[in-house]
Amino acid sequence: MNKTQVHIDDEDRYSRLKLIGWWDQQRLRDAKIMVVGAGALGNEVLKNLALIGIGHVRLIDFDVIENSNLSRSVLFRAHDAGKRKAEVASIAARELNPDVEVEAVCGNVLTDIGLGSVREMDLVIGCLDNREARLWVNRMCWKVGTPWIDGGIQEINGVAKVFMPPDGACYECAMTERDYQLIQLRYSCPLLRREDLQQGKVPTAPTIASIIAGMQVQEALKLLHELPTDVGSALVFNGAANQFYKSKFPYREDCLSHETYEPIISSPLTCENTLLEVDTWLQAQMGVGAERLLLDRDFVTTVECPVCQTEVDVNQPLPAVSTANAVCSTCQDPMVPRMLHVVDMDSPLAERKLSELGVPDHDVIQLARDEKTTFVELVKTP
């Protein structure tokens, strides 16, 4: 009887992985994955991605390391306290596997990450601790058609969810009125961020972070290898009872997240170009310009005191504006924000850079004329 011989090269760090029948190491080496969040869950996800040899990882986080992170985050050490989570985690991941390119982005996914950055990824893995950020990532992924895997942990329980735009149910499809209420609680009247609620201190154990992150990366492996996955479902683990079950999300026809941006036109422009410069380029390309820019993010132009009429320029996206920016220096009363969602081409604001209108680097912008909308992708700034 002829027996098939399998040669194991102990000099190849991936030799045991390649024994898995469907495993394609080159496919993983070519993959681009965005990880949003570098806390306990993000640490474990990044560790797993490094070990299996994912070629390029873009890690997003705006926070710094605290001593309380050390009990739950495998990539952090005591001497890292006060350093940026994304930077430290990316260095540690590259030490685990020099084959992996890890790009650290010290920014807020709500305000600093452009749609073009999401569009060029094979998938996104969310390691977040609040509904607002999850909802935003969900909408970004749906707009540009990038699959994403959400993860959530609390105490010793956790859940992983797989979403595949533009088909099937999404994260927002399963949101309840209570979920929307909790998102609104993150903002005080008049709709400005409350710092105490911004700090999502969720109690978790390192064990559940390992379990859920393992599930997330395992589902990522299936997606990258085009294997069947539980799309539009929650994979729930109850650590107290050691119970695991799956729950299918309902599909909502009227879900606000199901907006898609297509077709998307590539451009040589960046967020440092003015809106008028964008319009000039569009006219040269298509023979007709736009009438207005539609903003994805609520943009606060000024805050005004209704008591003493004091007005202060802000010019920032809403999630970046805190209550500290909206207390009247004269009478100490709360100030009311004036928000902008559309910038007309004949407005003085059209002479400003896109970045000054809250458009992040490498974004996809919406330019409208009559009933037609054109989607233009910006390139990264040099």
Q: Where are the alpha helices (DSSP H) in the chain?
A: 25-29, 40-52, 85-96, 115-119, 131-144, 177-185, 195-198, 206-224, 275-286
**Residues facing residue 160 across a β-bridge:** 151, 235
Whether the predicted pLDDT of 252 surpasses 60:
yes
Return the domain boundaries, the chain: 17-258, 264-377
C-alpha to C-alpha distance for 271 and 360, rounded to whole angstroms = 7
**Mean confidence (pLDDT) of the chain:** 91
Is the pLDDT score of 212 beyond 80? Answer: yes
- Calculate mean pLDDT across residues 115-131: 97
Q: How confident is the model at residue 241 (pLDDT cuts 50, 70, 90)?
A: very high
Strand partners, 99: none
pLDDT tens readout for residues 355-364: 999 999 999 9
What is the pTM (predicted TM-score) of this model?
Answer: 0.92
Could you read off the pLDDT of 29-79 as tens digits, one per residue?
999 999 999 999 999 999 999 999 999 999 999 999 999 999 999 999 999
Q: Which residue has the tokens 């100030």?
A: 335
What confidence category does residue 197 fall into, taking pLDDT thresholds of 50, 70 and 90? very low
17-258 has CATH 3.40.50.720 classification:
yes
Query: pLDDT value at position 8?
Result: 67
Which segment of 54-68, 183-197, 302-316 scores lowest on mean pLDDT? 183-197
